[in-house]
Amino acid sequence: MRLSWLSKVFGRRDDDVALSLYHAVVAQARLPHWYEAGGVPDTIDGRFDMIAAILSLVLLRLERDPSAAAGASARLTERFVSDMDGQLRESGVGDIGVGKHIGKMMGMLGGRLGAYRDGLAARDLRPALERNLYRSGAPAPSALAYAQDALFAFDARLAALPTPTILAGDIA
pLDDT, one tens digit for every residue, the chain (172 residues)? 333 333 343 444 445 668 999 999 999 999 999 999 999 999 988 998 999 999 999 999 999 987 766 788 889 988 887 776 666 656 665 666 666 666 677 677 889 999 999 999 999 999 999 999 998 788 999 999 999 999 999 999 999 999 999 999 999 8
> What pTM did the predictor assign?
0.83
The pLDDT value given to residue 157: 98
- Euclidean distance between CA atoms 102 and 126, whole angstroms: 26
29-34 long-range Cβ contacts below 8 angstroms, 24+ apart: 29/53, 29/54, 29/55, 33/146, 33/150, 34/147, 34/150
Give CA separation, 33 vs 15, 36, 38, 158, in Å: 30, 5, 6, 18
Contacts of 64 (CB under 8 A, 6+ apart): 159
